[in-house]
Amino acid sequence: MNSAIRRLAVAAIILMLALMANSTYLQAFRAGDLNGRNDNRRVRDSQFSVNRGPILVGSVPIAQSKPSNDRFVFQRTYPQNIAEAYAPVTGYYSYLFGRAGIELSQNSELNGSDPSMAFRRVVDVITDRRQQGASVTLTLNAAAQIAAYNGLAGKTGAVVALEPKTGKVLAMVSRPSYDPNQLAGHDLNKVAANWKKLTEDKSRPMSNRAIKELYPPGSTFKLVTAAAALSSGKYNPQTQVRSPAELDLPQTTVKLPNENGKNCGGSDNATLTVALRNSCNTAFGSIGLDLGPDALRDQAEKFGFGERQLPELGAAASQFPTDPNAPQTAQSAIGQFDVRATPLQMAMVSAGIANGGNVMKPYLVQNIKTVDLKTVSETKPESLHQAVSPEVANQLTQMMIDVVQNGTGKPGQIKDVQVAGKTGTAQTTPDKPPFAWFTAFAPANDPKIAVAVMIEDANVPRNDIAGGALAAPIAKAVMEAVLGQ
């Protein structure tokens, strides 16, 4: 009998210890994860009663909490006139569907629960003051953001603008967009109906095309191919490159043609500068065959391909094909085959060239401050890769200036400002329109902004789709907004 009681007592002690250990583990190591779960209703109820900090562009809130006369105490709001313009960045804050964008990535700072704000919470308890979240100030330029949003009106596409010397994101727009207020309301039946409508919309308004979607970059990728060529030491801007109307490819009877069906600039052997000016497929296909896939991939990776930038917003990594054969390498050299890039990535290519070959790490959060303006954190610029040498960067810059002054990029010209840019028109499937691209930076001699514009669908005839005609004017407007033109 005593033996049985002892065994029962030991078992009870083991169970109690296991329970204590599990409780300690949950509180010490899992509390943050559990509290951060979107389906944790207890935490959601508590957080909806917190005066959540604002998300700011300059000193203007693009998301803020206001008192409400219901059980949630505060209502998250987004300014009606600009909510859709900033939605890809702010994301949403919803009782039913959790958080997205900055509302998700900076959630603990915005609701005041971050460990870095522990002292502030103690002070709030002592002074019997309601917990209040920190403000998050973004790097965005309001004028550039609105210019990009307006420029994409009636189109499906995205715009990303960067400050080349720092990596600050100056604009990030995706259209079609949505109004985050539709998901932040306290009428939960209406919120659920809005969610259903948004998620079933075939235009995918909640998709951030600027950073989450991958597209064939088309001829904008020729900047990467040109960078690889110049960096190899085998080419300079005046090197003659084979550029007939059609390029014979090895291992196949299929030929690579120029878009206009003619040779490059009136010659079967154009200089690299002329080839970029006229965006000649055969010239860059020839370079791709000469350099090989490894050199192209290595150069692409130096610009950021294969890496996820802004992972806190769920950004996708741009891709260069793993093991293309010779014909596929020629296609890859002109941004086709399986080359895929985000608008953010192509903005990084231009920004890297603009910054003397030094690609800076993109960032969107400038600083985080408590309600009494004490700085919790501040982002410092960080170099990501030296993609090309300053000499090569200067050569590419001069070639890109030529594209805008004399070539396919003329619609991107700005009065009294020298612009360096590159157009692109990327073919997809016969049932889909081509993607129109333009990437550029300005002023060319002292760059303040680098931008990439991608138009997925402009609702125009297929023959009217071109990067210069559709994307360049939008890029021009965004650059002018930053430059005060």
| CATH for 229 | 3.40.710.10
Query: What is the distance in angstroms between the CA of the first residue and the CA of the last residue of the chain?
Result: 93
Residue 429 has pLDDT above 50, yes or no: yes
420: in domain: yes
Nearest to residue 120, comparing CAs of 134, 107, 108?
Answer: 134
419: in domain: yes
396: in domain: yes
Return the pLDDT at 128. Answer: 45
Residue 5 has pLDDT above 70, yes or no: yes
Please report, rounded to a whole number, the percentage of residues in the chain having pLDDT higher than 90: 74
25: in domain: no
88: in domain: no
| Confidence band, pLDDT 50/70/90 cuts, at residue 372 | confident
Mean predicted confidence (pLDDT) in 474-480: 98
36: in domain: no
* 258 neighbors 282 (Cβ within 8 angstroms): yes
* 409 neighbors 426 (Cβ within 8 angstroms): no
Return the pLDDT at 292. Answer: 97
Q: Is 318 annotated in the active site?
A: no
Stretch among 122-131, 359-368, 381-390 having the lowest mean pLDDT: 122-131
Per-residue pLDDT of 402-417, as tens digits, reads: 999 999 999 999 999 9
18: in domain: no
Residue 350 has pLDDT above 70, yes or no: yes
| Confidence band, pLDDT 50/70/90 cuts, at residue 255 | very high
Of residues 9 and 29, which shows the higher confidence score? 9
Mean predicted confidence (pLDDT) in 55-70: 94
* 343 neighbors 211 (Cβ within 8 angstroms): yes
Q: Into how many domains does the chain fold?
A: 1
* 447 neighbors 421 (Cβ within 8 angstroms): no
**Which residues 6+ apart lie within 8 Å of 281 measured at CB?**
219, 247, 256, 257, 258, 259, 334
Question: Active-site residue among 113, 219, 279, 286?
Answer: 219
> What's the predicted TM-score (pTM) here?
0.89
Q: Report d(CA 167, CA 352) in Å as an integer.
A: 9
310: in domain: yes
Domain that holds residue 286: 218-366+380-483
